[in-house]
């Protein structure tokens, strides 16, 4: 039965090229109706979609009868798409036909990317960091309280690090959190007299845990929960940390206050969603550790996609706001 499911998915986003005719199954990640700006179609709407599978994402456009067609499927549905690839700020599908398909008829693994790294090894490394790098009793106890909770661990191992920008795949949250922890440990080596290793390792592991509640982990495209949309992962993460911390007798208020601040300020700037900017050296280090992990993951994914295309320059990336040059030595590896 499993093999029959896989047969339904015949080609993948990464293989689609401008000029190709398309007839394939894709997941609906985003769906928006947009008013036409041209006078001859005033009052009408077209539909712009973000579609994807395990190999990547692509924009799709429905020009005609968009409101009626939009009512036949929703975000996170699997759809059979027929159309043609053209080029408008990158490849996009001009859709002639789009029909909802039962999720029971397809293999979810064809539509949901996962980390290429070993999840067991990453999880074991995080537990090793807690055991060997965090010395203070309170923060070690706080971390162990999280990681002895089986439900939390299942969610932490599965959750993505994001939906669209970085680490946007199964296991992405754990991968990103571990990367941040490894980066801040290097910072501590450089500034041992001014940075607190316990706080930095703890905050690196816990800074994004709100994402396990921000995203619907049963959703193929990790749609946001209502609470995720209304509250956001930063505030929810702070709530999760405080809830467990307050149950520990005699917790040190000064340490807890700074950890709380670090979780709240790790996005670095208010315009990037941080309720507060970093106001301690530890918080500033966490912010840059988080940013380094996120940005390098974006670069890595863009470079990988571009190497497949055998080009010298990548396509424009709207999140990185640049094209990326690919030196010849990358192509030789």
Domain ranges of the chain: 2-110, 119-296
On the question of a common fold for 2-110 and 119-296, the answer reads: no
pLDDT at 108: 85
pLDDT at 171: 97
pLDDT at 250: 87
pLDDT at 241: 98
pLDDT at 333: 60
User: CB count, 10 Å around CB of 111?
Assistant: 23
**What dotted CATH number matches 2-110?**
2.40.50.140
CA distance 76 to 49: 11
Instruction: Note whether 275 and 264 are within 8 A (CB).
Output: yes
Q: 3-state DSSP call for residue 97?
A: strand
For the entire predicted model, the pTM comes to 0.88
Residue 187 Cα distances to 83, 108, 212, 262, 289, angstroms? 51, 40, 27, 16, 9
pLDDT at 8: 57
CA distance 14 to 52: 10
Closest CA to 111 of 86, 85, 79, 83: 79
Question: Residues 163-188: pLDDT tens digits?
Answer: 889 999 999 999 999 999 999 999 99
Cα atoms in the Cβ-side hemisphere of radius 13 Å centred on 82: 5
Report the Cα 296 to chain-centroid distance in Å.
13
Helical H segments across the chain, by residue range: 2-7, 66-70, 119-133, 137-147, 150-158, 172-190, 197-206, 211-214, 226-230, 233-245, 253-265, 281-309, 328-332
CA distance 48 to 62: 7
**CATH code 1.10.3210 for 119-296:** yes
Q: Name residues of the chain where pLDDT drops below 50.
A: 1-7
Report the Cα 257 to chain-centroid distance in Å.
28
pLDDT at 5: 45
């Amino acid at each position: 039965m499993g093999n029959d499911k896989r047969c339904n998915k015949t080609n993948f986003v990464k293989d689609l090229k401008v000029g190709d005719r398309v007839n394939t199954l894709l997941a609906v990640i985003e769906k928006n109706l947009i008013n036409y700006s041209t006078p001859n179609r005033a009052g009408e709407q077209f539909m712009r979609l973000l579609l994807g599978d395990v190999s990547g994402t692509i924009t799709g456009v429905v020009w005609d009868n968009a409101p009626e067609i939009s009512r036949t499927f929703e975000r996170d549905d699997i759809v059979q798409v027929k159309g043609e690839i053209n080029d408008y700020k990158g490849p996009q599908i001009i859709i002639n036909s789009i029909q909802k398909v039962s999720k029971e008829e397809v293999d979810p693994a064809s539509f949901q990317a996962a980390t290429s790294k070993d999840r067991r090894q990453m999880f074991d490394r995080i537990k090793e960091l807690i055991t060997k790098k965090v010395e203070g009793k309170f923060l070690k106890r706080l971390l162990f309280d999280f990681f002895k909770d089986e439900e939390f661990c299942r969610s932490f191992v599965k959750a993505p690090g994001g939906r669209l920008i970085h680490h946007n795949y199964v296991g992405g949250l754990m991968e990103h959190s571990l990367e941040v922890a490894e980066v801040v440990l290097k910072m501590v080596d450089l500034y041992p007299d001014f940075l607190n290793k316990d706080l930095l390792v703890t905050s690196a592991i816990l800074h994004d845990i709100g994402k396990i509640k921000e995203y619907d982990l049963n959703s193929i495209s990790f749609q946001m929960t209502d609470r995720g949309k209304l509250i956001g992962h930063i505030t929810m993460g702070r709530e999760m940390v405080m809830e467990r911390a307050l149950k520990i007798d005699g917790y040190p208020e000064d340490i807890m206050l700074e950890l709380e601040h670090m979780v709240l300020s790790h996005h670095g700037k208010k315009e990037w969603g941080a309720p507060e900017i970093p106001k301690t050296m530890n918080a500033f280090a966490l912010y840059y550790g988080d940013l380094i992990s996120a940005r390098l993951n974006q670069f890595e994914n863009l470079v990988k996609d571009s190497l497949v295309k055998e080009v010298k320059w990548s396509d424009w990336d709207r999140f990185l706001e640049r094209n990326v040059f690919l030196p010849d030595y990358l192509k030789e590896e």
